[in-house]
Every structure is written in structure tokens, then in C-alpha cells.
Structure 1
């Protein structure tokens, strides 16, 4: 009888351990707005180290986020976490180069941050897509920026998910 109780307790403990994951997003911000502000600040300062800290890491994507979305998020069936991350990273890096070419060293202000698409929830994660904002340059010119495709949040832990043209 003690063995049965021990086995039941052990099975219950294993289920709790695997179903109650505590995710920790390193260098996260407390809101999607803070992510956007910090991303644009890193771009202005040409600080790739700070930019990469704000970007969802391969580990966070593959180990935390992907198990909650997997193929549901992609039109291509059979895609795995590494391929999905590589595709996202390639698009992000292409757009980052354009943004650096334009905004690096410029003085600007960010206003009217909005994510136009409905929030998508995947397990404990919320994905904010279609994020856009106004960039007000020093000369008063207002630019509509629509390249921050996504911010991912887990409670008050938010990171950049993707830059896209």
C-alpha cells in the first residue's frame, strides 16, 4: 500500500513539474511599449548588444515559446523550432540593417505606440502583432513606423519577437 501511495505521489509530482513550468525571459521589459522604446533606443545608439538582449533568444523561442505554438503559427507544416527561429532572425536582421541605416545617430521621439492586430495567446504567452508607432524627428517630421511585427509577453516579461518589412 505504501508503494502505491509513493508511486501515485511520484506521478503527481512529475505531472505538476512538467505542467507548471516557470519561464524566465532574460533581460525582459515590463510592457510592449518599453520593448519598442528600448529597441528604437538601441537602434539609435547602434548598440547591437542591447538590441540582442531585448530580442527573444533562440533558447527562449525553442524551449519556452515553441512548445506552446509549434506548427499552429506557421503555414509550412513540418517546420521545427530551429528553422522557425532562423527564418524569424533572418527577417529581423534584414530589417534591422535598414533601420540602423536610417535611424542610427538621429534624435527622435516615439509616440502613439499601438499593436493593430488582436492579441494572440499561446499557452501562457501573449503575442502582440502589427505593432506600429510614430517617430518624430528633431525637425518635426513624423514617420509612421510599422516594422516591429511582434512583441511577446509572459505576465510582465516582454521581449521583441520579430522585426519585419
Structure 2
């Protein structure tokens, strides 16, 4: 198996978890917080999607799906234009809400599709390309993609946990 195929498999696993978490929940459940400082499923899925969108688009030299496909306007969040959720306070996280899970999954699926297109174009040698020199050692594309996968899986798992807690309440 090629390294790019392994990365694609990992992103596909994230896709499966996100759909399992979001499907069948109404906006009230998606936006619910299990305590005042906790993140909602909406915020967790939006954030993991924004990070994937931001990092993959940057590495590919493409425009983010968030802007290119008008999701910034469709979500109409009261946050700065380029917000990804990184460093959000509990109050900022609470401001990320959706009318339904359909929009959340639509954005996630569009980002997942763009990530897939990018991965299909990569060669093994591309994974060694330095994409961020602010770190020591500099970050390669392969390391950046593994970082996104790790972050996304953590947040997808957190969203699954929140769903489980919410389901036990009823």
C-alpha cells in the first residue's frame, strides 16, 4: 500500500465517524453542550472540518472550500472570516450553531472530497515536501497530513462521546 493510500484510508475513517455522529440528530441535539464549558457536536465537527479544509487547502495551494463554495455565508457565523475554531473560548464555541445536520455534513463532505482529490494527485516524494518552516524540524506534507488526521480523529471521537452522553439522557 502506498503512503497516500494509507492517508486516504485514515481520512475515510474520519468520514465514517462524522457521519455516524451527525446523522439522525436534530439541530437542538447537535448544538447541545453537556455542560457550559463543553463543546457541542456542531462545534466539534465544524472545527475538525475547518482545520482539514484550512491545512489541506494551504498545502495544495487551493482556496478553502469554506470560501470557494460559499459555506462561510451559508453558516453565517458571528466569527472572524478565517476562523477555524483554534483557540476558541467556550463563548465562541457556543456561537457555532446549525439549523440542521445537513449543512454540517454537506460542508464536511465537500472538504472530504477535496482532500481525496489532493491525495490522489500526490506521489510518495510529495510527502517529503516542507510545508511549514516555522518548526524545528520543519514540517513536511506527510507530517502535516498525519497531524490533521490525529486532530480530526480526536474531535470526531469527542463528538461521538457527546452523542453518547446525550442519548443516555433520554
What's the TM-score, normalizing by structure 1?
0.30
Query: Using CA pairs below 8 Å that are at least 6 residues apart, which structure has the higher relative contact order?
Result: 2
More helix by percentage: 2
**Which protein shows a greater Rg?**
1
The structure where strand makes up a greater share of residues is: 1
